[in-house]
Amino acid sequence: MKLVLDDRPIDIIEADDATLTQVIERVAEELKGQKRVVSEIILDGRAVGGYDDPELAQMTVKQCSNLRLVSEEPRLLASKVLHEIAGYMPRIQAALVETSSRIQSGDEQEGMHLLEQITATWAELYQGFQNAVVVTGVELGDVLVEGRSFLEINNEVHDFLNTVSDLVQENRMLELSDILEYEIAPRIPAIEEGIYRIMKEAERKPN
């Protein structure tokens, strides 16, 4: 197997039966001393999701032809992640309104399908958001959007999302539709703006 880090071939010290996860974890540990993290994993020319990708845990050094790793400074990577998440917000807002419209028109099955997609996407984005914010060191309560703290707005959205879950279980479709369109969707632009403000705050912080 050929192991490349940031376009430079590096030595493989693991045995042939070691998993790729073990190789990546070792490289990641060595990168800590350089204050860098693994940001991208390319397996035989294909990008894979991350450390927890099952394929990495199942494939051994002997079975792989080429493993390419890319590293970055953590704050730079966090900024990229936040920028990507912010870019999703207009789509999330539009999908919330579309879901409400489907429910109101009586197409509840399609509405529920859209809602499942939204909540799954939101959960994935929010996990990345939380991890990135920790790296930036920015306190959400210190970030203001239209005179309100981002933390307050964020908590409101998640309170409404919890209510959505209850309404779905209780089959209260009219109330569900109203919350999606008139409570959550209008707050999404503030979430987007808040994320960009977090990025700006992070840029001001010393390394």
First to last CA, the chain: 36
pLDDT tens for the 207 residues of the chain, in order: 999 999 999 999 999 999 999 999 999 999 999 989 999 999 999 999 777 788 999 999 999 999 999 999 999 999 999 999 999 999 999 999 999 999 999 898 999 999 999 999 999 999 999 999 999 999 999 999 999 999 999 999 999 999 999 999 999 999 999 999 999 999 999 999 999 999 999 988 766
Question: What is the structure's pLDDT at 207?
Answer: 61
Question: How far is residue 169's CA from residue 151's CA, in Å, rounded to a whole number?
Answer: 28
Q: What class is the 2-72 domain?
A: alpha beta
Domain extents for the chain? 2-72, 75-204
